[in-house]
Amino acid sequence: MINKLKNKFYNTNAVDKNNLLFSNKALFALLLPLVVEQILNSFMGMTDTIMVSNVGSTAISAVSLVDSINNLVIQVFSALAAGAAIICSQYIGSGNIKACNKAARQVVLSVSVISISIMLIGLLSRTWLLATIFGRVEPDVMTNAQIYFMITVISYPFLALFNVGSAFFRADGNAKYPMTVSIISNVLNLIGNAIFIFVFHMGVAGAALATLMSRAFCMIVIFYSLHKEKQTIVINQYFKIRPDARLIKQVLAIGIPAGVENGMFQFGKLAIQSTVSAMGTTAIAAQAMTNILENVNGVVGIGVGIGLMTVVGQSIGAGRKEEAKYYMVKLTAIAEVGIFLSCLFAFAITDAVAWIGGMEPESAALCKSMMVAITIVKPLVWTLSFIPAYGMRAAGDVKFSMIVSTCTMWFCRVALCIFLVHAFHMGPMAVWYGMFADWTIRACIFAGRFFSGRWLKMRLA
């Protein structure tokens, strides 16, 4: 009976569990650092927000608004890193290490040019950009937002290159080293916040400066390590890298659809944030803390999804399609357990976080009510709406994911949210009703895509 059920997901006869690319031990070694890194990053982000919130509602509102823009850019960089991980993992799976290193060098060149260009655009247009998106906010909030954005935008190239460098290590199955670097960087960011905010009383400028310094540290350390000859992917002689149109096109064929998909998510969040910003400082602060807590309860799933890209990428590169399906099912189940437990944990700490963060009673109560709904709905639909998509992208099926995610984003998260706000005056809770609709529809569509098997016909390397 159990084997019949498994055969609906993958061909059990075609998967030799004694000769898997990733044993249970290897999976554990890959996934644990990724999950730990995501957890620590989220807690550091939450701590960062708490520190800033102690400066006042104006400061946390400014940081929240600017971070909705920063997160858009970060998601674009993450998509480029995902493209790097997918291509390199497929080459590693096929045993073509030389081609893997050539592709990695082109990724570094492409990401450097893109991230520096975005940084310059952000610096030159920051006043117009913030005024256009958040023009209705209070003057003090806008002043703080201008300061925070000007400093954090300088960190874009450092963050982009660190993401890509980390992706190279993960593509080879080494998630422990990027985790270690990230942990040290987050601790430095935390110490920097404490010094700049509480000792030098620099407010949001101090928080931004700590972020800039920690991201620069990450990038320098990761590329120093990539320069060494002991790992599979080696990046050196940077000034001798020349553009290779074929390889850049291959990288962008993955990176652009993934970037559009991630970008649409953040554009949608930006549109929603613009709507929330008109509700007043109480709503902005409540939504900001709820976003932090919702990120915390999703960290296990995201860590597993990132690991799934390496596992499926190498399986597809080695021509083991049924094994790729096997890993999709197995890691989706692991992610579901993780999401359930982390949702319970995030809900349990909601009151404590609101109290430590010095949130006003109205904001804390609003945050708690939103967390109740999230804790109920997220374990039911989130896993299927995201985890299988990580594996499908690793197989090269990025356009389908982009189209589905873009459509559900705009029709559910954005349009439904704005409709509920203006027609029923729901306030920030409308954001989450739109989110729940998005997750549910995506879960149904991606489950159907998995069973169709069409995603297996997209091998890149």
Mean pLDDT along residues 346-354:
92
State yes or no: pLDDT of 131 exceeds 70. Answer: yes
Contact yes or no for 37/352 (Cβ under 8 A): no
Q: Is the pTM of this model over 0.95?
A: no
State yes or no: pLDDT of 459 exceeds 60. Answer: no
**CA-to-CA distance for 320 and 312, rounded, in angstroms?**
9
**CA-to-CA distance for 405 and 328, rounded, in angstroms?**
19
Contact yes or no for 32/170 (Cβ under 8 A): no
pLDDT-based confidence at 59, cuts 50/70/90?
A: confident
pLDDT at 276: 76
Distant-in-sequence, close-in-space partners of 387: CB < 8 Å, separation ≥ 6 = 301, 304, 305, 308, 328, 331, 332, 335
State yes or no: pLDDT of 431 exceeds 70. Answer: yes
Residue of higher predicted confidence among 401 and 333: 333
Mean pLDDT along residues 313-334:
92
Within-domain flag for 201: yes
Within-domain flag for 389: yes
Number of domains making up the chain: 1
How many CB atoms neighbour CB 452 within 10 A?
9
pLDDT at 437: 94
What is the sign, positive or negative, of the torsion defined by CA atoms of 313, 315, 318, 320? negative
How is residue 279 annotated by DSSP? Answer: T
Residue 236 region by backbone torsions, left for phi larger than 0, else alpha for psi between -120 and 50, else beta: beta
pLDDT-based confidence at 299, cuts 50/70/90?
A: confident
State yes or no: pLDDT of 274 exceeds 80. Answer: no
Tell me the CA end-to-end span of the chain in Å, nearest whole number: 37
- Closest Cα to residue 14, out of 326, 322, 328? 322
State yes or no: pLDDT of 138 exceeds 90. Answer: no
How many CB atoms neighbour CB 19 within 10 A?
9
Within-domain flag for 131: yes
How many CB atoms neighbour CB 148 within 10 A?
28
Looking up tokens 């969040």 gives: 269
pLDDT at 1: 46
**CA-to-CA distance for 259 and 252, rounded, in angstroms?**
9
- Closest Cα to residue 12, out of 3, 22, 2? 3
Within-domain flag for 403: yes
Question: What domain range includes position 195?
Answer: 7-12+20-457
State yes or no: pLDDT of 269 exceeds 60. Answer: yes
Residue 114 region by backbone torsions, left for phi larger than 0, else alpha for psi between -120 and 50, else beta: alpha
State yes or no: pLDDT of 48 exceeds 60. Answer: yes
pLDDT-based confidence at 336, cuts 50/70/90?
A: very high
Mean pLDDT along residues 408-419:
87
Within-domain flag for 49: yes
- Closest Cα to residue 312, out of 30, 6, 117? 30
pLDDT at 458: 65
Within-domain flag for 429: yes
Mean pLDDT along residues 165-182:
90
Residue of higher predicted confidence among 302 and 264: 302
- As a whole number, the mean pLDDT across the chain is 86
Distant-in-sequence, close-in-space partners of 255: CB < 8 Å, separation ≥ 6 = 79, 80, 82, 83, 84, 110
How is residue 115 annotated by DSSP? Answer: H
Within-domain flag for 1: no
State yes or no: pLDDT of 287 exceeds 50. Answer: yes
Treating both helix axes as pointing N-terminal to C-terminal, what angle do 245-277 and 281-296 enclose, rounded to 10 degrees? Answer: 140
pLDDT-based confidence at 4, cuts 50/70/90?
A: low
Lowest-confidence pick of 163-167, 292-296, 321-325: 292-296
pLDDT at 160: 92
Within-domain flag for 2: no
Mean pLDDT along residues 384-401:
90
Distant-in-sequence, close-in-space partners of 64: CB < 8 Å, separation ≥ 6 = 49, 273, 284, 285, 287, 288, 291
C-alpha 457: how far from chain center: 26
**CA-to-CA distance for 176 and 233, rounded, in angstroms?**
15
Counting beta carbons within 10 angstroms of the beta carbon of residue 45, is it exposed (0 to 12), middle (13 to 18) or buried (19 or more)? middle
Contact yes or no for 281/58 (Cβ under 8 A): yes
Element (H, E) at 172: none
Question: What is the token pair recorded at 168?
Answer: 């190279």
pLDDT at 273: 66
pLDDT digits (tens, 9 = 90+) for 179-238: 999 889 888 988 998 999 889 988 889 989 998 999 999 999 999 999 888 888 888 877
Helical ranges in 54-175 per DSSP H:
57-94, 97-134, 139-152, 156-171
- Closest Cα to residue 70, out of 134, 130, 156? 156
State yes or no: pLDDT of 442 exceeds 70. Answer: yes
pLDDT-based confidence at 45, cuts 50/70/90?
A: low
Element (H, E) at 434: helix 429-452
Element (H, E) at 306: helix 299-317
State yes or no: pLDDT of 302 exceeds 50. Answer: yes
**CA-to-CA distance for 101 and 375, rounded, in angstroms?**
43
What burial letters (b/e) apply to 349-362, b meaning 16+ CB within 10 Å? Answer: ebeebbeebebeee
